[in-house]
A = this chain, B = another copy of it.
Amino acid sequence: MKSDLSTLMRERGLDALVISNPDGLAAVNAAFTYFVGAAHVTQGHIIVKAEAGLPSSEPLTLNLQPSTLLIHQPMERDEAARAGLRLHSLGGYDMRDILRAAGGDRLAAQVELMRRLFGDLGVSGRVGFYGVDQRGASFAFLNALAEAGFVEVVVEHENDVVSRARETKDAGEAALIRQTCRLTERVIGAAREFLRGHRAAGDMLVKPGGDPLTVGDVKAFVRVEQARLGLDDPGFIFSIGRDAGVPHSAGTASDVIRLGRAIIFDIFPRLPGGYHADITRTWCLGYAPDDIQRAYQDVLRVHDRAEAMFDARRPAWEYQEMACDLFEAAGHRTVRDGPGVTAGYAHSLGHGFGLAVHEPPTLRLKGLTGDEPLPPGAVITNEPGLYYPDLGWGVRVEDDYWLDPAGGVERLTEFDRDLVVPM
């Protein structure tokens, strides 16, 4: 969590962090959103400086106000102010002058801008760089900056300090995720009522005019419901029949909604600049065929077992190994047979989430997930599923959990897991 940042910086010997947000990438730049929240800052940098002068044996308390700066464009000064950080405007740096001094070399000009910024803001020593950018731009800029030598460029390939802090959530963040879960469940409930509001003609749901109800119709309804509740829509899965048998198939708009087919609805919106939820329900309208019923019971068994196991002690791979044990005992193939398995249990048991839909930790097999336990504060999904595309179905149930720092485990989702939707 954010309060770990000072300790993480000291452990890694970092004097400052620079989290950049190039134009156009803010929607997925979670490391930047972590500091600015919902403030509509389309371009800029966060600079976190280590607190100086404290004895190194004491845990540092990071007071974000004085040590965290937001470098912003002058025309975004009002939006920047909403972030509640110390502001520093780029209005004082004339890129025409800097470009001229750099002989028109735009890369050199970027390095020079950084040199001036660091000088004005007292940034020196070992500096880590974070945030998303074009691959070519990152490579060229960081190499040029390292060569310029006015700071020591520290690159953390994975498990960097910002990701590490984000991996655990404090009570405030958990509350925000809980809020998104409630809103998301309202969308799920509204979608189920929308389906139930249609009559069946034969095995097919039809609209008032008599046309068949399609996946496209339901998706349009869900998009509007999300917007009505103020939720950002990063896309969602609403698939039926064979599509439900392929975990990441988003669904085919022209597919007709029929009774007795498995519908997978996997939805993971967030409030603007906020935290996601990630919830999946499987429904059969009217009735569920026996094979789907049985597979669903197998999935619930794994789901319940994982929920009962969650704690901050056992190695994180134990959950997925357990899931494979149970599924194999029930006669299903699993990812233990290799990554190409498409019939049976074909993905990981869960993943962390927060400002991004997928974050560490992951619940995968031994060798793919490390031996570390889930850290206290982790927010993770529990989403076993079974997939039989050739039989024309798949099932998955996904709930969200917070391992609170005091050692408890809280299920953040509340929506019922009923497979059959009475029509």
Contact = CB atoms under 8 A, between A and B. Distances in A.
Interface in A116-165: 128-143, 155-158, 160
A339 B40 contact: no
Contacts of A139: 129, 138-139, 142-143, 155, 157
Given A25-B132, A136-B155, A142-B139, A75 B358 contact: no
User: Within the oligomer, what is the number of copies of this chain?
Assistant: 2
B140 A135 contact: no
Interface in A1-50: 20, 23-25, 27-28, 30-31, 40, 42
Interface string A197-224: 0000000000000000000000010011
A399 interface: no
Interface residues of A, number: 81
Interface in A57-83: 73-79
A356 interface: yes
Interface string A158-182: 1010000000000000000000000
A135 B138 contact: yes
A85 to B, nearest CB: 17
B234 A228 contact: no
Given A75-B246, A75-B342, A77-B342, 14 more contacts: A40-B248, A74-B342, A79-B249, A91-B340, A128-B136, A131-B135, A132-B132, A132-B135, A133-B138, A136-B157, A139-B143, A139-B157, A140-B155, A223-B227
